[in-house]
């Protein structure tokens, strides 16, 4: 099948879908997009179902040539987007004709852009998912020899995400945390210090975890491991918290302070190294209500 031929793959561009669900009990990480909201909007603009395979592009620097007439949408990081040298808007459904070249420059703000195509990209699934998980050797990053298989598509007109929903990745985010896990075992002043200070995102962060840099916390002792999920906030012995990301491990033994609000995980994924981060508590009920609204809008429930 024809599709989009890769001329330049960028630093790290990987296919992602809804993730590899139902395998964590066997030690398999779920993977999936780092920024669920940007990925969901890209698919939504093209009337693709939830979790349709798309391309996650770290930092930019991608060039593609169309071998088929289709439509695309690019959401997420503020990358210069052009078609045959002519600038195009992000967060918009756009036509792409056979022979045309689509270019994504390097991001001015944000870290990850999501390129969706009408009908989604076609790839052979592994354990029910096409999501690439480099750490576990499930798939690989895009290379200049690749063709992203996709079919023809047609829309009658362009469409864009309404401006109130467009994020500003240059702002200093206030990220919401559901306290729990081992939070009751932390000294009260330690919880206060976590929320009171401004942290920085470590340059050693990746798709597995976001490492924070700040005044160290004093975690309680933990003698056992338990299952962990995305957004879990671990506090290792050095006192510098780690927020688990899309490629997280399935078991962990560090004490858990709580979980990052699911709808704030994407905002964290768009922060560059050394970006300042602040946190504030949120109730599990409020987080569940907002997450249900998000899923309803994007037709997951």
Single out the residue in 148, 165, 182 at which a domain terminates.
165
Domain that holds residue 278: 174-297
Q: How confident is the model at residue 138 (pLDDT cuts 50, 70, 90)?
A: confident
pTM summary value:
0.95
CATH label of the domain that carries residue 85: 2.60.120
pLDDT 10s digits, 270-290: 999 999 999 999 999 999 999
220: how many CB neighbours lie within 10 A of its CB? Answer: 13
97: how many CB neighbours lie within 10 A of its CB? Answer: 11
pLDDT 10s digits, 16-42: 999 998 888 888 999 999 999 999 999
Instruction: Please tell me the total count of domains within the chain.
Output: 2
Asked if 219 contacts 186 with a C-beta cutoff of 8 angstroms, the reply is yes
258 membership: H or E segment, kind and range: strand 256-260
Based on the fold, state whether residues 191 and 279 are members of the same structural domain.
yes
pLDDT 10s digits, 56-84: 999 999 999 999 999 999 999 999 999 99
Q: Tell me the mean pLDDT in the region 218-238.
A: 90
Single out the residue in 165, 183, 214 at which a domain terminates.
165
Based on the fold, state whether residues 48 and 79 are members of the same structural domain.
yes
Residue ranges of the alpha helices (H) in the chain? 36-45, 188-196, 265-269, 284-297
Q: Is the per-residue pLDDT at 136 higher than 90?
A: no
Q: How confident is the model at residue 169 (pLDDT cuts 50, 70, 90)?
A: very high
| pLDDT of 241 | 98
User: Nearest to residue 133, comparing CAs of 56, 39, 62?
Assistant: 56
Beta strands across the sheet bearing 12-16: 12-16, 54-58, 112-117, 70-76, 92-96, 159-160
Q: How confident is the model at residue 301 (pLDDT cuts 50, 70, 90)?
A: low
Based on the fold, state whether residues 10 and 127 are members of the same structural domain.
yes
- What share of the chain in percent tops pLDDT 90? 88
Q: How confident is the model at residue 221 (pLDDT cuts 50, 70, 90)?
A: confident
Single out the residue in 165, 190, 205 at which a domain terminates.
165
Q: Tell me the mean pLDDT in the region 214-221.
A: 93
Based on the fold, state whether residues 100 and 214 are members of the same structural domain.
no
The owner of tokens 């879990």 is: 232
Based on the fold, state whether residues 159 and 207 are members of the same structural domain.
no
Give how far Cα 70 sits from Cα of 7, 119, 168, 225, 272, Å. Answer: 18, 9, 29, 48, 32
pLDDT 10s digits, 192-210: 999 999 999 999 999 999 9
Calpha distance 68→75 (Å, rounded): 21
User: Which residues are 129's β-sheet partners?
Assistant: 126
CATH label of the domain that carries residue 204: 2.40.100.10
| pLDDT of 215 | 96
């Amino acid at each position: 099948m024809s599709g989009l031929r890769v001329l330049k793959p960028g630093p790290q561009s990987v296919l992602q879908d809804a993730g590899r669900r139902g395998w964590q009990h066997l030690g398999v990480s779920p993977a999936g997009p780092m920024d669920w909201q940007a990925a969901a909007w890209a698919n939504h603009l093209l009337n693709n179902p939830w979790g349709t395979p798309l391309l996650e592009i770290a930092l930019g620097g991608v060039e593609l040539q169309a071998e088929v007439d289709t439509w695309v949408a690019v959401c997420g990081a503020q990358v210069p987007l052009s078609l045959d040298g002519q600038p195009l808007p992000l967060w918009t459904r756009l036509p792409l004709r056979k022979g045309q070249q689509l270019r994504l420059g390097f991001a001015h703000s944000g870290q990850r852009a999501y390129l969706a195509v009408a009908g989604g990209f076609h790839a052979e699934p592994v354990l029910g998912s096409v999501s690439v998980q480099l750490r576990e050797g499930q798939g690989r990053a895009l290379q200049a020899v690749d063709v992203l298989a996709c079919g023809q598509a047609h829309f009658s007109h362009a469409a864009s995400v309404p401006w109130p929903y467009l994020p500003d990745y240059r702002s200093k985010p206030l990220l919401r945390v559901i306290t729990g896990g081992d939070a009751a075992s932390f000294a009260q002043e330690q919880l206060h210090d976590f929320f009171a200070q401004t942290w920085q995102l470590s340059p050693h962060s990746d798709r597995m975890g976001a490492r924070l840099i700040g005044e160290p916390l004093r975690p309680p002792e933990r003698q056992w491991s338990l299952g962990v999920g995305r957004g879990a906030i671990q506090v290792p012995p050095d006192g510098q918290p780690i927020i688990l990301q899309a490629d997280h491990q399935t078991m962990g033994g560090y004490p858990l302070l709580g979980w990052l609000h699911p709808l704030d995980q994407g905002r964290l994924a768009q922060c560059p190294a050394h970006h300042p981060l602040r946190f504030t508590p949120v109730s599990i009920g409020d987080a569940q209500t907002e997450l249900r609204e998000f899923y309803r809008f994007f037709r997951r429930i």
